[in-house]
Amino acid sequence: MGYLTKSRFIKAMECPTKLYYEGRREYRNRQLEDSFLEALAEGGFQVGELARCYHPEGIKVDERDTDTAVKKTEELMKKKNITIFEGAFLSNQLLVRVDILEKTGNRLNLIEVKAKSYDGDKDGDFLNQRGNVNSNWSDKINDAAFQKMVLKRIFPQYAVDAYLMLPDKNSICPTEGLHQKFKIQTLENGRKTVVQQQELTEEELDEQILIAVNANKAVDNVLYSYYSFGGEEMPLENFADCLAASMEKGEKIPPVVKMECKACEFQATEDEEAKGLKSGLKECWKEALGWGEEDFQNPAIFEIGNFPKAKTMLAQGIIKMKDLDPGEFEPVPSEDVALTTKQRQALQAKKTLRGDFTSWINRSGLGREMDSWTYPLHLIDFETAMPAIPMHKGMRPYEGIAFQFSHHVLHEDGRVEHRGEYLKDEPGAFPNFEFIRALKKELEEDQGTIFRYAAHENSYLNMIYRQIQRSGENSEDHEEQEEKETLQDREELLRFIKSITKSTKNSPEKWVGERNMVDLLELVKKYYYDPRMKGSNSIKKVLPAVLNQSEYLQEKYKEPIYGSRRGIPSLNFENQIWIQYQEGEVIDPYKLLPPMFQDITDEEQEILDEQIERGGSIADGGAAMAAYARLQFEDMPREEREEIRRALLKYCELDTLAMVMIIEGWREQSNKKEDSGTE
């Protein structure tokens, strides 16, 4: 099964049993085999290349073959002073490739480069108030701790200091063009890599946007803690040796059921199992709980959305939703009020256990909301990115950009139109001010109510508001290349943003705009629940639920009217049929779209979105972020570039059409005369 690498070690720190499933193709693995797109979306490749630029004397160990790489590293380590990139160090079955290793006499500086942003005021030494590793940094610290342990074993006579090199959120990019100095290249074997195409300037080397943070306290916290293996408590070094030995023997470490099982990548659907793939999670639970196949027909308690007691109950052996005490939840009110979180949980538990797949809708409450709307309704969605390396002088790492929007209009008489869109993908072009101008033009023709889904659009408009304010300051540090002169329409743009937003919590200036966008997500939480959503309120879960419940929507969109000459105007679709069925259920419309890239499957694209969402980035935007990054950094044929553009436009258009469909479905249900809160 190979070596215990740092990536496998991190996986084992989450759950040691995963080492058994890793690499066994008979088990369904819901992680991307090729992490290139994920790392590209997160900015990992560019950050790694930039970090090496800060050490121009470094020598890279390019060899991929482990034995060759280890031997080359051993030769380089014979020098008294040296900096090595990707050095390979092997101790028994423990293998690490160190991002950057500085050797000065008998002192080693281990530098692990990560794309995660660092704020010195908030993140400090990566420890929480109790002196333990902050959970937000645990995987990064575990990574560095494993490397430090291996180096200490090989070089016991050396002092080893561990650092994390990270984008510093408090730094400011000193020049234009840094963002575009790192490009994607395709190698002869088809692999993609990021290479530096231009030398860094003196300013870029002097005013570094990456910071090397001493992580010894947190790393030593991991190194000198004890870990359970085979009923024994042992230091990290012994624990790692036991993991490696189990891997080598092909043994499965006995599983333990815990909350992390919910996100386990080794899960197979019933359809996948029917095709011969195995579910590691099922095997674990059968071993740990003595379950049979029938037990998996009972939903687990961690499927309940935002249920804080799930972890405690799992520890008490309460696994199935049916074993919960009804007293854990608030009863669903019969009166016309917005649902609380606990009442939504009660709905989910009750409907799931009864096998009830009907939706719950508070018609009166939703009806009052609808009565307050001004037609035509405007549905907007943004696609955004947070580049680790700033796009322009004066910007900070991970300062956001808005590169795309879609705009649908729903009229009071039921007419629907895809009215407008924006996409700025030229490499190095800063889109935010042009983006706002285009959005303003779309929305200023009437006073119709504007809708967003979740806080994302409001947050980004607040951010752009601050960028526009900053553009008027007389400081070179805040100068935008695209807007060297003071924005002529600065005050006009600021007024527009304030008119359709509300200020964020950290804003020194407070406001609520007269056309403040309505958050459709908040209406879902208050007035609507469907068992198909399984505790999630993501628009990609809500849309299929609404479509499967609404005969009106099924009847309307089963015909090729979307993008047809006499049907619904669309900027990217032609005669699209949105209602298609599989085994009696409406197929999720997102599954009808083409892959974002030529070299990615639908399944990989779905996994990419899931991984970006789990990692705390913009939910449901992983594939779009990766696509934008490729358009920024990769030289590709014009045909391939146009294909990615078309895919981005279609995905964003469907996001706003999804909002239209949800409102149409609700409007049809609310027109029925049943009492509020009926199911």
Q: How far apart are CA 595 and CA 443, in angstroms?
A: 31
Q: Which two tokens stand for residue 675?
A: 């009492």
Say if residue 597's pLDDT is above 80.
Answer: no
> DSSP H helical segments within 333-489, as ranges?
341-354, 363-371, 432-443, 456-471
Task: Encode pLDDT of 459-485 as tens digits.
Answer: 999 999 999 998 866 444 444 444 444
Task: Encode pLDDT of 532-561 as tens digits.
Answer: 998 899 999 999 999 999 999 999 999 999
More confident residue, 328 or 641: 641
For residues 593-598, give the mean pLDDT.
77
Q: What is the 3-state secondary structure (H, E, C) of 142-153?
A: HHHHHHHHHHHH
Task: Encode pLDDT of 118-162 as tens digits.
Answer: 999 999 999 999 999 999 999 999 999 999 999 999 999 999 999
Q: How far apart are CA 329 and CA 341, in angstroms?
A: 9
> DSSP H helical segments within 124-201, as ranges?
138-154
Q: Which two tokens stand for residue 617?
A: 């980035």
Q: How far apart are CA 487 and CA 69, in angstroms?
A: 54
How sure is the predictor about 1, in pLDDT bands with cuts at 50, 70 and 90? low
- At 241 the pLDDT is 96
Say if residue 616's pLDDT is above 80.
Answer: no
Yes or no: say if 631 and 644 are a contact pair by the CB < 8 Å rule.
yes
Q: Which two tokens stand for residue 417?
A: 């139109």
For residues 202-208, give the mean pLDDT.
95
Q: How far apart are CA 369 and CA 663, in angstroms?
A: 11
Q: How far apart are CA 21 and CA 23, in angstroms?
A: 6
Yes or no: say if 173 and 625 are a contact pair by the CB < 8 Å rule.
no
For residues 404-429, give the mean pLDDT.
96
Q: How far apart are CA 664 and CA 26, in angstroms?
A: 43
Classify each residue of 147-181 as buried b or exposed e, where b means 16 or more C-beta atoms within 10 Å of its C-beta. bbbbbbebeeeeebebbbbbbbbebbbbbbebbeb
Task: Encode pLDDT of 626-640 as tens digits.
Answer: 889 889 988 888 998
Q: Where are the beta strands (DSSP E) in 191-303?
A: 192-196, 210-214, 226-229, 232-235
Q: How far apart are CA 448 and CA 469, in angstroms?
A: 27
100 — phi, psi (to 5°)? -140, 125
Name the percent of the chain lying above pLDDT 70.
Answer: 91
Among 158, 157, 128, 163, CA closest to 143: 163
Q: What is the pTM of this model?
A: 0.89
Q: Which two tokens stand for residue 502?
A: 């509300």
Which sequence spans correspond to the domains of the chain?
A: 32-223, 259-349, 359-679
Q: How far apart are CA 285 and CA 29, in angstroms?
A: 17
Q: Please give the mean pLDDT across all residues of the chain.
A: 89
Name the percent of the chain lying above pLDDT 90.
Answer: 70
Least confident of 523-537, 602-616, 639-653: 602-616
- At 283 the pLDDT is 96
Which single residue is written with the structure tokens 């990290």?
A: 236
SS3 call for 454: coil
Q: How far apart are CA 30 and CA 26, in angstroms?
A: 13
Among 650, 662, 625, CA closest to 573: 650
